[in-house]
A = this chain, B = another copy of it.
Amino acid sequence: MTLIERLRDVLGAPNVLTGEETARYATDWTGVYAAEPLAVLRPGSTAEVAAAVRLAAETGTPVVPVGGNTGLCGGTYAPGALMISLERMSAIREIRDSARIAVVEAGVVLDTLHTAAAAHGLAFPLTFGARGSAMIGGCLSTNAGGSNVLRHGSTRGLCLGLEVVLPSGEVLDLMTALHKDNSGYDLKDLFIGAEGTLGIITAATLKLVPAPVAHATAMIAMPSLDAALGLLNRLQSETGGAVEAFEYLPGDTLDTIVTHFDALRAPFAESHAVNILLEIGATAPRDATPGADGTLPVVSRLEEMLGELMEEGDVLDAVIAMNAAQRKAFWAIREGVAEVALSRKPFVNADVSVPVDAVQAFLDQIAERLRRLDPEVTALWVSHLGDGNVHYTARPSRDDPALLDRVLEAVEDVALSLGGSFSAEHGIGKSKLASMRRRKNPAALAVMRQLKAALDPQGLMNPGKVIPD
């Protein structure tokens, strides 16, 4: 029997797709990395994933896992490989209210988990634009971030237990609901963020948190980024760490967004250089009850504090969302950045991080560097300021591959000179292999290669990703 026939035996013929049927799995959201796989497999259980991986190992066939196809780095590019789609493994096995955990399979769509947790008065706080398609397995494999990382951490910080099919086809069951377990090496975190190069994540035990009963959401104009960081630290103390988002939008970017979308309006009468989209989440039941003036307590407290800061000159201007529609409008500005940035071609799109107190230095230095490379360059950016992550999109004046490459090199140079990373939350996949080769600490790369060789000696798991040759 051929490999495909054997796979059809194990998984059932309808779950082994070939030829044109594979197209919708083999083209990701970016559209850049399409390639025809040998087949797309749709296992319905961990045992079926394990059986498929065993057959792949026996026959020396590469294996590439795929979830919602929403990655940005070509992590599921799979020419000639067996793509294993986790989409049929979409059960939320259990939600335990008092332990505040969810036990889910890898194919659960992020949004589906949000809805299921909400029905228990709880929340799974990981969230980002692609939540309607991204699957938990992909979130874990890429250690996805998003706009709530400040309060709740990246996907890694929300995962207690993991189930992984190893390159041999053996199942590694680390499905604990424990908050403390010091019985040996931390294996879970090795597979999280490994983008399927060490094994295939099939299920996870995830932390849930109390769902906020009220939000205070505001646009705040600050005199400087330093002042903004001071405000963040003050808010963290004032709220006991309830700041859910602290997003920095520069004036130019904000103006560009509100000009681009007819439905959006500028939050302030005049333009300010440093604009912060702040969101605080309140979880106490009393926070759901408006005060005598009809305002929610968490909003009143923020109003009071911002009023004081404006009098002292520490805040230039501020608008607090007084209802759900205003809150949505503020977020629409923030979430409009990606569309506008990627529509202005040519562009160089970087996802860097620096220490939270080095964002201004990064912006000053990169502006100077790019001016020297190309006096007519423009840039849009937005930053999860609370975690030092800057999504920086430069638009050089001409579509010259050599210039685009020099721009990317400059962005990476500056980020790394400040102790930063060239990949904050999107991962490496295929698209950042060159950066990995030239930027990553050689000692760290050597250790990664040792680990990869130890766990996947045949090199069949998502080959050509994460670790450069």
Residues of B within 8 A of A453 (CB): 454
User: What's the minimum C-beta distance from A465 to chain B, rounded to whole angstroms?
Assistant: 11
Which of A177-185, A289-297, A336-344, A394-402 participates in binding chain B?
Answer: A177-185
Within 8 A of B (CB), among A91-121: 96, 98-101
Q: Which of A436-469 contact B (CB under 8 A)?
A: 436, 439-441, 443-445, 447-448, 450-451, 453-455, 466-467
Protomer copies:
2
Check A444/B190 contact, CB under 8 A, given A183-B423, A184-B436, A388-B179: no
Closest B residue by C-beta to A235: B284
Q: Which residues of B contact A441 (CB under 8 A)?
A: 172-174
Q: Is B443 a contact of A172 with CB atoms below 8 Å?
A: yes
Kindly name the residue among A236, A281, A384 whose own CB sees the greatest number of chain B CB atoms within 10 A.
Answer: A236
* Bound Cα distance A242, B435 (Å): 41
**Chain B residues, CB < 8 A from A353:** 178-181
B444 touches A455 (CB 8 A): no
Asked if B236 and A283 sit within 8 Å, CB to CB, the answer is yes
| A44 on the B face (CB < 8 A) | no
Alpha-carbon distance between A210 and B439 when the two chains are bound, in angstroms: 34
CB < 8 Å neighbour of A98 from B185, B192, B209, B356? B356
A135 interfacial by beta-carbon distance below 8 Å: no
CB of A43 within 8 A of chain B?
no
Tell me the smallest distance from the CB of A415 to a CB of chain B, in Å.
10
Given A451-B451, A454-B454, answer yes or no on A99-B356 (Cβ-Cβ < 8 Å): yes
Question: In the bound complex, what is the Cα–Cα distance between A145 and B101 (angstroms)?
Answer: 21
Interface membership of A303, Cβ < 8 A: no
Is there contact, CB below 8 Å, between B180 and A387? yes
Contact with B along A201-235 (1 / 0, CB 8 A): 00000000110000000000000001001100100
Q: Is A5's CB within 8 Å of the partner chain B?
A: no
Q: Which of A403-443 contact B (CB under 8 A)?
A: 419-428, 432, 435-436, 439-441, 443
Taken together as a complex, chains A and B put the C-alpha atoms of A298 and B240 apart, in Å, by 12
Mask: chain A, 344-359; 1 = CB below 8 Å from B; 0 = not: 0000000001111100
Query: Is A419 a contact partner of B174 (Cβ separation < 8 A)?
Result: no
Chain B residues within an 8 Å CB radius of A156: 186
In angstroms, Cα B172 to Cα A440, docked, is 12
Task: Provide the residues of chain B in CB contact with A166, threshold 8 Å.
Answer: 443, 447
Residue contact B233 to A183, C-beta cutoff 8 Å: no
A467 touches B184 (CB 8 A): yes
Confirm or deny: A19 has a beta carbon within 8 angstroms of a beta carbon on chain B.
no
Contact of A46 with B by CB under 8 A: no
- A198, A441, A453, most chain B CB atoms within 10 A: A441
The answer to whether B428 and A98 have CB atoms under 8 Å apart is no
Partner of A451 from the list B181, B185, B193 (CB cut-off 8 Å) is B185
- Across the interface, do A182 and B428 meet the contact criterion of CB distance under 8 Å? yes
- Alpha-carbon distance between A129 and B457 when the two chains are bound, in angstroms: 45
Bound-state Cα–Cα, A100 to B178, Å: 28
With the chains together, A229 CA to B97 CA distance in Å? 11
- Does A157 make an interface contact (CB < 8 A)? yes
A185 vs B166: C-alpha distance when bound (angstroms)? 16
Task: Report the minimum CB–CB distance from A212 to chain B (whole Å).
Answer: 9
Q: Are B284 and A421 closer than 8 Å at their CB atoms?
A: no
Query: Which of B99, B237, B384, B455 is close to A357, meaning CB atoms less than 8 Å apart?
Result: B99
- Identify the 3 closest CB pairs spanning chains A and B, nearest first: A454-B454, A179-B387, A99-B357
List 6 additional contacts besides A182-B427, A187-B447, A238-B283; criterion CB under 8 Å. Answer: A98-B230, A149-B179, A178-B419, A183-B440, A185-B190, A453-B454
Task: List A residues at the B interface (Cβ < 8 Å).
Answer: 96, 98-101, 142-143, 145, 149, 154, 156-157, 166, 170-174, 176-187, 189-190, 192-194, 198, 209-210, 226, 229-230, 233, 236-242, 281-285, 353-357, 384, 386-389, 419-428, 432, 435-436, 439-441, 443-445, 447-448, 450-451, 453-455, 466-467
7 contacts between A and B (CB under 8 A): A101-B355, A143-B182, A145-B182, A172-B443, A183-B439, A184-B444, A236-B283
